[in-house]
A and B are shown apart, each in its own frame.
Chain A
Amino acid sequence: KAGVTQTPRYLIKTRGQQVTLSCSPISGHRSVSWYQQTPGQGLQFLFEYFSETQRNKGNFPGRFSGRQFSNSRSEMNVSTLELGDSALYLCASSLDTSTDTQYFGPGTRLTVL
């Protein structure tokens, strides 16, 4: 079974631009979460989606948004990029209950210049 895939793996943008990252969960998984990893803050929860509905949201500004499609694939969007948005963005998927183990993708490395 294929693991969680994220595209693109690397991305370079400039301040003020917007970016969309994509995540394909493991087949059959209906829950997708997004995390931001930076050297200073570590891994921080962004949001969680289940069956196209946002189930939880972390403490990030409104510039960060996401959505989930009917096939469970998810996208996250960051608008008006800032230098501090440079990070590794990780997506994780799990089956369908809140207690199921999450499986992480390799991440998308975003660099904002």
Chain B
Amino acid sequence: DQQVKQNSPSLSVQEGRISILNCDYTNSMFDYFLWYKKYPAEGPTFLISISSIKDKNEDGRFTVFLNKSAKHLSLHIVPSQPGDSAVYFCAASMMNYGGSQGNLIFGKGTKLSVKP
């Protein structure tokens, strides 16, 4: 039973356009969400996070939106660059229920390809 779902295994976007990566979750106790990026032969790298008390968090070209009623979050990358090509993982935690960032539930990832 997958608690964090990334239903699109892959996404292809033209350089300069917006990339939108989606993530759905089922557990309403999740209260902290993160996005990680992973290049081949490397470990995941933290990108951006959002607490459930917010609905938007922005960091440079990356913005994460959280819709708690829909149990949905999305990562927007604007503008997309070829170096953004990687696998993106959505992750969730129950920080207020004994969880921590050391105990994350991950989605299966979306492979983003940004074409020059």
Contact = CB atoms under 8 A, between A and B. Distances in A.
B103 interface: yes
Given A4-B43, A102-B46, A104-B45, A92 B102 contact: yes
Interface residues of A, number: 28
B101 A98 contact: yes
A58 B99 CA distance: 11
A40 to B, nearest CB: 9
A43 interface: yes
Nearest to B104: A45
B73 to A, nearest CB: 17
Given A42-B107, A99-B95, A90 B43 contact: yes
Interface in A49-74: 50, 55-56, 58
Contact of A56 (B49, B95, B100, B107): B100
Interface of B: 36, 41-46, 49, 89, 91, 95, 98-109
6 cross-chain pairs, A with B, having the tightest CB-CB distances, nearest first: A104-B43, A98-B100, A42-B108, A43-B106, A48-B102, A56-B103
12 contacts: A33-B103, A42-B106, A43-B106, A43-B108, A45-B103, A45-B106, A55-B102, A56-B98, A94-B102, A98-B100, A98-B102, A103-B46
